[in-house]
Amino acid sequence: MHLLTTPGPAQEAALAELHRWMLRAAKHQVWRMRSQLGDLSPNALDVLVNQSADEAMTTLLRKLPTFEGRSRFTTWAYKFAILQAASDVRRTAWRTRDVELRDLDVPDRGASPAEEAEAADLGRALVDAMGRVLTPHQRRITVALAIDLVPADVLAERLGTSRGSLYKTLHDARRRLRDELTRTGYLPSSPRPTQTP
């Protein structure tokens, strides 16, 4: 790690070796998730791998001072490339797909008649709670992120907002739903943590 921060030929060699690691990790992740990319050409896959590796390396170098040595440096570096490649694959896969901001309709399903009735009842209560305690914006964001599994970075880009803003909206919506389902008896109430003076 010291070589990465000390200018000179040794730093250049260390950076080149690190980039090879990033490429290997990004290629592994992109190829593992390639079924999500449809008929993307091998050349386009290579471009995606290289972009992911470059972005991961930039992020890693920026966060280099935060490395605490709890794992091998190569393992830590590998994670940057894996996460970046996975994010890039999801973003690429959603690039041409429509993001439908819709409200929720819950089908009635269950393994047994009793479970089916219970699931249907909870589903109706959830939809009802969403209609009563969430704003239309919170409902659409919750459905897109938690039900349709639209990647947060894709949704943020489409809506011209930040991932943080979307996560805050989702967090607030989940809290409201949990409180409402607890109030109406569908979820058990959780004991409040005791505070020590």
Q: Which structural domain, as residue segments, surrounds residue 51?
A: 2-94
Asked if 122 and 72 sit in the same domain, the reply is no
Asked which of 51-60, 89-98, 186-195 is least confident by mean pLDDT, the reply is: 186-195
**CA-based end-to-end distance of the chain:** 44
pLDDT value of residue 41? 87
What are the φ and ψ backbone dihedral angles of 96, each rounded to 5 degrees?
A: -105, 0
**Does 192 reside within a domain?**
no
Q: Which of 35, 60, 94 is the last residue of a domain?
A: 94
pTM over 0.75: no
**Does 188 reside within a domain?**
no
Number of domains within the chain: 2
Model confidence band, residue 28 (pLDDT cutoffs 50, 70, 90): very high
> Rounded CA gap, 118 and 86, in Å?
37
pLDDT digits (tens, 9 = 90+) for 63-112: 888 888 888 888 888 899 999 999 888 888 887 777 666 666 555 454 67
Asked if 58 and 122 sit in the same domain, the reply is no
Residue 46, pLDDT > 60, answer yes
**Does 137 reside within a domain?**
yes
Asked if 44 and 78 sit in the same domain, the reply is yes
The token duo for 129 is: 């709670």
pLDDT value of residue 132? 92
